[in-house]
Amino acid sequence: MRRTPVYIVCSPRPDVGKTLLARLLTEFLLLQNGAVTAFDINLREPSLLDYLPELTETALITDTFGQMALMDRLVLNDGVAKVIDLGFHAFDDFFRIAGEIGYMKEAERRGVEPILLFFAGNDRTSTRAWSMLHKNFPRIAIVPVDNDHVLRGALPEIYAGSRPLKITALPAFLKTFIGRANFSFTEYLRSTLDQSSELHKWVRTNYTNFRELELTLILHKM
């Protein structure tokens, strides 16, 4: 059966790097597969739509119509990978709705593979959300994201047993550089002449980590 991954980039906390990861992942999937669809569920945060408007759709879950319109797209096994930039304000509602309508089971039945990329934190809000996801969605791949800008140390014990997706810290001036709305990670890799630069290595490392994550998930399913 054809495989359609749905990556849900999420955290119950703001300012942890969700949109940055969603940008990186969306560009990687486009480069690798030639097609990707991203969904922006952000109302009060920097928006994925601002960075990748040609690939991103705005999604609303504040009413029944918006909820069903989004979920219909997320159970479609069309072979096109999906990326959801889930704002922290919508975290609880999204997973409550997913549980109420049985989204995860329906996705599995249709050959769609939800993958939760959860930003790990040692605060109570994050650890409780991590436990809730494992309890309510035990059959779904839940990957802790180890972002150096958030944890600044070892991954807390609660995330042990799950292979993390590592994001290393960038200097402040490079964060400003990639924060421009017209910046493309893939175009930077293609156009820069200095492949030893810190930013080139950072983007290349993240793309490699995405590929390794894909292979790990595929092998886990076999």
DSSP string, 161-204: TS--EEE----HHHHHHHTSTT--HHHHHHH-S-TTSHHHHHHH
d(CA 180, CA 173): 12
Q: Which stretches does DSSP call E strand in 30-140?
A: 37-41, 56-58, 82-86, 112-119
Query: How are strands ordered across the β-sheet holding 56-58?
Result: 56-58, 37-41, 82-86, 4-10, 112-119, 141-147, 165-167
- The one-letter code for the residue type at 35 is A
pTM of the model: 0.95
d(CA 19, CA 2): 28
For the record, the structure tokens of 47 come out as 């928006």
On the CB side of 88, CA atoms within 13 Å amount to 16
Domain range for residue 21? 4-221
Q: What are the phi and psi torsion angles at 209 (to 5°)?
A: -65, -35
The percentage of the chain sitting over the pLDDT mark of 70, rounded to a whole number, equals: 96
For the record, the structure tokens of 46 come out as 């920097």
- The runs of H, that is alpha helices, within 112-171 are 124-136, 148-151
**Cα-based torsion angle of the residue sequence 177, 180, 185, 188 in order, rounded to the nearest 10 degrees:** -60
On the CB side of 86, CA atoms within 13 Å amount to 24
Q: What are the phi and psi torsion angles at 61 (to 5°)?
A: -125, 25
Domain count, the chain: 1
pLDDT tens digits in sequence order for the chain, 222 residues long: 678 999 999 999 999 999 999 999 999 999 999 999 999 998 665 689 999 999 999 998 989 999 999 999 999 999 999 999 999 999 999 999 999 999 999 999 999 999 999 999 999 999 999 999 999 999 999 999 999 988 877 888 999 888 999 999 888 889 899 999 999 999 999 998 788 899 999 999 999 999 999 988 876 665
Domain at 70, CATH number: 3.40.50.300
DSSP category for residue 110: T
DSSP category for residue 63: S
User: How would you classify the pairing of strands 56-58 and 82-86?
Assistant: unpaired
pLDDT in tens, 70-79: 999 999 999 9
3-state secondary structure of 214: helix
